[in-house]
Structure 1
Amino acid sequence: MDLELRHLRIVRAVADAGSVSKAASLLGLAQPALTAQLKRIERVLGGALFERDRHGARPTRLGELVLSRARVLLPAAQELQEEAVRFAASPSSPAYRIGATNGPILGGLVHRLAAERAVRTYTSWSAYELTGMVDLGRLDYVLTGACGDSGTPSGSVVWETIGLDPVFCLVGADHPAAAEKEVELADLADEHWAVTPGDGCFADCFAMACARAGFTPGTIYETDVATCIHLAQVGRAVVLCQATHQAAQGLVTVPLAGAPLRWRQLLGRHPTAPDSAWVVAQAKQVHDDAVRRNPVYSDWLVRNPGYGTAP
């Protein structure tokens, strides 16, 4: 892993907040996820950046060195981005500019919005990158998601919850779980897993859900959607997927009993984004359409109210 600006932002946030827990709240992350990220950053930099005890987190000598550089580099990078945006962007864009991570909404939303005006899209696995682009005015909207109980990043971006979905699993049609109405997570303890990448706390939340079910997950393949589907089709892995996912031929979507993992579909917008109320309404309608197209999810919702498209 190479050191990135977002890593320096994490180090600065912990130092400014005085504790990992406070920094996690400000960054909209679960504390275990932030702790895990901080440990990875410390491994890259060669040592501990903070001394942590019940009183909080204090920078080590190495931490002070990193912080001194971060407090120069981060404002300089921010200034560079803002200057580049002002130089490259037109005063008023005739198009809706939308960024998105992997999810069920983008295609349908583009179809609806394009009937009114042009749409420009930008995709990334990093919600932090896209949120930063909205914050800087390079995008009007960002479609992303977050674990059910995590917060949203701080900043100028205005967030709307579009829907709350359970996480299901995707298996081959000949997998033993394919014939079940739902499957216990513990019954999949011996499986390999596949999931699309992201920079939130989902990996840590999955590990904790497995721990509560009494096991440690085996191999986890973090890869693109097409590879996840292939691994499920050949029986190499069980795929963790959003409940709205439409299973390809030879695959079956199976709910996890008790919904141990939840995913919030989010729409973030710049404070000056055009037609915001209408765009939010369109996003919710697209999500509702995705729910209705999936008979497994629709059937599951009858037994599990409280999920689905936000009112």
Structure 2
Amino acid sequence: MNLELRHLKVVCAIAETGSVTKAASQLGLAQPALTAQLQRIERTLGGPLFERDRRGARPTALGELVLSRARVLLPAMKGLQDEAARLAGAGSDDTMSRYRIGQVGGPVIGGLVNRLSEAQPEAQISTHASYYVEELANMVRDGKLDFAQVGVCGDAMPSADYGLVWQTVAVDGVCVLMQEDSPFAKGDEIDLAELADEEWAAGTGDGCFADCFAAACARAGFTQKRCLETDIRGVVDMVESGVALGLCQPTFRASTGLTHRPLAGAPVRWRQVLGWHPDSPAARVAPRLIGMAVDAYEEVVARNPRYVDWIRAFPHLGSNTLAAA
């Protein structure tokens, strides 16, 4: 058997956890399978790597030697893989040959990928979905993604602790999703104070939106009732069944029988942003992707002319282009 990097990872995992059983759990392997693999590694290297007893597994002198080399080789190989990934993503001054885009969802990602595909049909484009900004930001920071297209509460931006550059694509007033025959659907907007007796459903996430909505309700003179967090399909189901009103973006395509209206005065807002690492090839092409993201947003929001008219009274909302119109 030839010694491979995966074998060194096994040795390191056993040393770090102090137990073959714990290492097997960490590596996602069955304990007997890991034991058999360790035995093959030891035969290849010519002796036992660990002394094992009831107190756990402790490296032998040979094990310490292997660990000292592994702790140099594994980070070096990880660095090589990261550098190769960055080089593989490099293209001309304003393009890359590969785009890995993480996204929380919303009105931007579909149009962005479509525009990118049309502009660079030969490029490799992949997406990764998550409910959580933190997960996507960490993946960009670690070189596993090139961009993160996320949504955050309108008064906030993703944390600077991730070390990424974030640029706003658009800011929207949050809307109320309801049945078409709801008495609240008669006007162009809804006063939040009129909804004091309602229950709510909203998408899940890791930001401050729930707290900001509760604060908006308090400013409107009431304490919000229950707000159920679920996925988008769950929000639609609850609204359709009459369990709750939903909170949604104005670009949301309501299903038959449902409609939405913005909250008067935009007391709660939602911000679409695009993030990238400043030292990655993505930084070079970011202005181009920001332009595509803005175009994608404007195409989607134009399908809701009632909202486009409403937003003209709020110069701080919409994309930069809409705000200037």
Please tell me whether residue 135 in structure 1 is matched to residue 107 in structure 2. Answer: no
Please tell me whether residue 101 in structure 1 is matched to residue 66 in structure 2. Answer: no
Please tell me whether residue 170 in structure 1 is matched to residue 177 in structure 2. Answer: yes
Q: Does the CA contact (< 8 Å) of 2:133 and 2:158 recur in 1?
A: no
Instruction: Give the 3 Å change call, closer, same or farther, for CA 179–86 of structure 1 in structure 2.
Output: farther
Instruction: Give the 3 Å change call, closer, same or farther, for CA 287–81 of structure 1 in structure 2.
Output: farther
CA distance in 2, matches of 1:295, 1:190: 30
Q: Does the CA contact (< 8 Å) of 2:174 and 2:263 recur in 1?
A: yes
Instruction: Give the 3 Å change call, closer, same or farther, for CA 86–170 of structure 1 in structure 2.
Output: farther
Instruction: Give the 3 Å change call, closer, same or farther, for CA 124–299 of structure 1 in structure 2.
Output: same
CA distance in 1, matches of 2:188, 2:75: 50
Please tell me whether residue 295 in structure 1 is matched to residue 286 in structure 2. Answer: no
Map residues 59-98 of structure 1 onto 2, 5 A cutoff.
Answer: 87=81, 90=85, 91-93=87-89, 94-98=97-101
CA distance in 1, matches of 2:270, 2:186: 24
* Number of the residue aligned with 1:243: 250
* Number of the residue aligned with 2:117: 114
Structure 1 moving runs of 4+ over 2 Å: 80-91, 302-306
Provide, for residues 83-121 of structure 1, a one-character-per-residue CA deviation record: whole Å limited to 9, x for no partner: 768548744133210001121111111111122122100
Provide, for residues 234-285 of structure 1, a one-character-per-residue CA deviation record: whole Å limited to 9, x for no partner: 2211111112222221111111111110111100012221522111110111
Runs of 5+ in structure 2 lacking a partner? 1-73, 90-96
Instruction: Give the 3 Å change call, closer, same or farther, for CA 230–268 of structure 1 in structure 2.
Output: same
Q: Does the CA contact (< 8 Å) of 1:126 and 1:198 recur in 2?
A: yes
For the aligned residues, what is the CA RMSD? 2.1
Percent identity reads: 43
**TM-score relative to the length of structure 2:** 0.67
**Bigger shift: residues 193-202 or 265-274:** 265-274
CA distance in 1, matches of 2:256, 2:203: 20
Residue type at the aligned position of 2:148: V
Residue type at the aligned position of 2:88: S
| Bigger Rg, structure 1 or 2 | 2
- Secondary structure at the aligned position of 2:136 is classed as helix
Residue type at the aligned position of 2:296: V
Aligned length: 232
**TM-score relative to the length of structure 1:** 0.70
Select the residue among 151, 155, 176 that pairs with 1:145.
151
* Number of the residue aligned with 2:296: 286
